[in-house]
Chains A and B, each alone.
Chain A
Amino acid sequence: MMLKKTKGLVPILALGATVLLAATACSPTSGGGDSGGGDDTIKIGVMATSEGNLAFGMGEAKAAIGVAMEALGGTIDGGEIGGKKVEIIYAGTDGTSGSAQTQVKKLVENDGVDIVFGPVSGDEGEAVVQYALTVPEVTFVNGSASPVGMTLEGATNFFRFHGDSAMWMGGLGAYAHDEKGYKKIYLIAEDYSFPYDNAGGFFSEFCEAGGDVSGSSWVPVGTTDYATIIAQIPADTDAVYVGLGGADAASFLSQAVTNGVNLPLVGGSIAVDTTALSGDANLASAAIGTITGGPVPGAGYDNPNWQPFVDAYVTQPDAFPSPSIFSILYYNSFQSLVLGLEAAKGDLSDNHAALRDALGSLKWDSPTGAISMDENRQAIVDNFLIEVADEGGTLVQKNISEATGVKQGTTVYDRFDGCP
């Protein structure tokens, strides 16, 4: 019979295909991987989002690294730091924990990097910290992932040189209640760990000042239809908290405009960003009066280190008109790593002891204010309160005030429907 004749053909072909695949897949990596253990070259593996709704993360990461490396005469692919040759390898993710796990393992185990730099999103960050606990010989410097719990896991090889997402709201809750006079705020936020902490930081302070939550909608990342949610907002609501980012924030803003929502907005730290504001004029006008908090300073910020950074940033390929939250955090973090490597003279011996000492005690004046470290290898930083204003037809994010020396709290927030 015909079928009986084919017996065994499939496994033979399977074998052939496997061998072929193994051969082709091994060849491009074996060359790169072998140099991993070399003494003179420090390999830094950068993780950033290159797919999904935070797909611009990779471009921003490269722009940030470009600024830092070009100042040292290098490029985004490497250069020399502390007298040692540095090679930089990039791994794109889609913002999910699964792809972060795959890529961080690839960087460490296959590409043999000494230092992992990244990732972007909170889900990724928590997966990467769990992984960091299993590879104590590798040093991890966070990119922009900001869940509160990341530096509380006890990973002594993990460093974060920016505030966590609850710290980014420091001062804004009290301001919304006391200065703006908001009593009830409706919460719309994406349903993952970053907005939990971000909104938690805001509402804990807002509720403590006497405010209340008039309702909440936690939406999946990538939600494009906000019409039903907009219809649910109670009439006695004074303002809407928008804990959305990237494309989602733009979708919400455009639907808020078409649905005639005229409530003031309180933005989460990644809602009111150049990425959302550089859309069309109607979108931009909807954002006027929005207050927000975060690590991105607004117009009128007079730190002498700020403008040189902005000037260097805009010369990078594919840069936005001004740096986004991701490029600022990636820059501050990467520059911290550079300073640490310089202080340790590129010495990675003894499980990176010199580098880790240098990173753990680092103090420097970044473009966004002084950065120092606490005992959990978490930065103590300045935070900014911002208001979107119309100045002579141009939209600007004005600095309301800066909170200096903001320290990390230890509350890890979850989804909440009333005051946290």
Chain B
Amino acid sequence: MTAPRFARNEDGLVNPITPAGSPRTVWQRFGWLGWVVVLGLAFAFPYLVDRPRFWLPNIGVRSLWLGIIAMSLVFLNRYVGLLSLAQVTIAGVSAYGVGYVMVTLDQPAVAAIPVGILAGTIAGFLVALIAARTKAIYFLMITLALGQVFYSYASQAIEVTNARRGLAPIARTEPFNDISNFYWAVLVVAVICYLLCRYVAASSFGLALQGIRDSPERMQALGYKVNRYRVAAITFAAFIASIGGVVLVFDRAQVDPDVVSLASTLDVLVVAVIGGIGSLGGVFIGAIILTLLDNFAQDFTDRYMTLTGIVFILVLLFAPAGIAGIGKQVKRVIDRRRKTTVDDAESPQQEPAAEQPTDEAITKGKQR
């Protein structure tokens, strides 16, 4: 038994432990405070807004399930190097699972939720079996195709999905029929999903995944079953997406093929890109921006979809790592400026260049 000699940064990437006595930055000391404030604001959200019956479902809960689904996409992209367009489909399978149990079989939500999550996870496993051997653009195309296959199925299978009409009503039960309670529950679920992703990414399994992302050949030479790891990672991401699907179905109170349409897939992709395709937490910022645009862009222009598109393009142009990546962009600029003034004897082992390849691999979509 050898204890791992690793320390993790906030993205789950691994750095050697900093030698004792090296100075801790302000961010390191008080970074946790940032999280406390963000979470505090998120939990206090129902009290901060003037019309909670609008803000909680339309912005709050919707951002959270969009974020959870996008987080599963980001997890796969960041730690496995695979861009999957099937995450919305998997969430949809989970939503249909819940809908089928509650509407068609007339069972309570307690029974429906595990079935939904199980259905979505199994769907993800099946997607993985088909797609895991492919990479880069081929993986993207296969997951997109599988998503469209399910969309067509959902649109036509009257016995299972009730075709276009979908399954309704899927009502929340006590105490979650109160929108504030539902929001808090979803918030807790989102935080747990986030921590779970972080935990898995930093586990030995997650480290192997990152190794596979950076050099599958080398990992194979080391004896890792690359495809099995990929299948496991896609299945885990499907589990997270399924949780998002369960939240989605209780938020919308119905499930119809629109849930798994190409437009919904693009919504989640837009969320992931705006938030930061390499940042697990950033997706929630992306989700908030998209829901705000969905709700308020019409107040400014009739061409509200164009406005959403413009925001998307601006983010791609000026913040290729997403909104969450702006921090690092700013940091890099500050560091560069500081480097010219402060002598670099302070930490001889500091090599900013060492971090670049990973960062670039993620934002520029390096996939193997």
Contacts and interface: CB of A to CB of B under 8 A. Distances in A.
Interface in A334-374: none
Interface stretch (A80-88, A94-102, A268-276, A325-333): A94-102
Instruction: Specify which of A14, A28, A108 lies most central, judged by the most chain B CB atoms within 10 Å of its CB.
Output: A14
Contacts of A7: 9-10, 25, 27-28, 31
A98 B281 contact: no
B328 A8 contact: no
Contacts of B62: 102
Contacts of B156: 191, 218, 415
A174 to B, nearest CB: 28
Nearest to B294: A102
Interface string B272-287: 0000000101101100
B218 interface: no
B169 A11 contact: no
Given A14-B285, A96-B258, A6 B9 contact: yes
B18 A10 contact: no
A18 B252 CA distance: 24
Interface string B248-267: 00001110101101011000
B306 to A, nearest CB: 10
A363 B312 CA distance: 51
Interface residues of A, number: 57
A123 B164 contact: yes
Nearest to B359: A3
A372 B327 CA distance: 63
A275 to B, nearest CB: 19
Contacts of B38: 11, 14-15, 18
Contact of A4 (B28, B37, B288): B28
A1 interface: yes
B299 A105 contact: no
User: Chain A interface mostly helix, strand, loop or mixed?
Assistant: helix
Interface residues of B, number: 80
B58 A109 contact: yes
B288 to A, nearest CB: 6
A97 B302 contact: no
A28 B57 CA distance: 19
B165 A21 contact: no
A218 B152 CA distance: 11
A29 B236 CA distance: 40
Contacts of A5: 25, 27-28, 331, 335
A106 B199 CA distance: 37
Contact of A17 (B163, B164, B285, B295): B285
Interface string B125-158: 0000000000000000000000000001001101
A9 interface: yes
A312 B332 CA distance: 63
Interface stretch (B48-56, B75-83, B109-117, B203-211): B48-56
Interface in A182-196: 191-193, 196
A30 interface: yes
Contact of B296 (A10, A11, A28): A28
Contact of B288 (A18, A51, A96): A18
Contacts of B165: 126, 193, 414
B30 A8 contact: yes
A123 B258 contact: yes
Contacts of B294: 99, 102
A43 B285 CA distance: 33
Contacts of A127: 254
A10 B10 contact: yes
Contacts of A30: 50
A235 interface: no
Contact of B164 (A3, A13, A193): A193
19 contacts: A1-B349, A5-B331, A6-B327, A7-B27, A8-B27, A8-B33, A9-B31, A9-B327, A11-B34, A13-B323, A13-B327, A33-B51, A50-B302, A91-B298, A96-B263, A97-B258, A110-B58, A123-B256, A126-B165
- 5 closest Cβ pairs, A-B complex: A8-B31, A109-B54, A11-B34, A8-B27, A110-B54
Given A2-B351, A7-B25, A130-B168, 20 more contacts: A1-B18, A1-B349, A2-B355, A3-B15, A5-B27, A8-B32, A13-B326, A14-B284, A18-B41, A18-B288, A21-B289, A28-B300, A29-B299, A30-B50, A97-B254, A102-B295, A105-B57, A191-B156, A193-B164, A414-B165
